[in-house]
Amino acid sequence: MQLQNIFIHHVFFWLEENNESNRQQLIYGLQKLSAATTIRQFHVGIPADTRRSVVENTYSVSWMLFFDNAEDQESYQVDPIHLNFVKECSHLWNKVTVFDTINA
């Protein structure tokens, strides 16, 4: 069953120093960030132990967000909770990649 009328914002973080302490700090920051009111649902994840040539598993933490629409996602980008997260946690990562998707 395909989810309808949804905007997915999937963020992948590569930690500057990939250790458990930094990973937990980032996860804690993401959990605090989930209080942003335009987020419908969220998922915080780490790479699964799957070993296939098509699987990208070099990232440290992923953050998948579900919004009702692109406008809500844009609002999230300037939400003070999001801006505070970037201020408090950006020192933890050295690379971020984002995939945004809408219904086909």
- Residue 47's pLDDT is 96
Is residue 36 within 8 Å of residue 76, measured between CB atoms?
A: yes
* CA atoms of 50 and 5, how far apart (whole Å): 30
- Residue 83's pLDDT is 98
The pLDDT tens digits for 18-38 are 999 999 999 999 999 999 999
Q: Which whole number is the average pLDDT over 89-104?
A: 96
Domain-by-domain residue ranges, the chain? 19-49+89-104
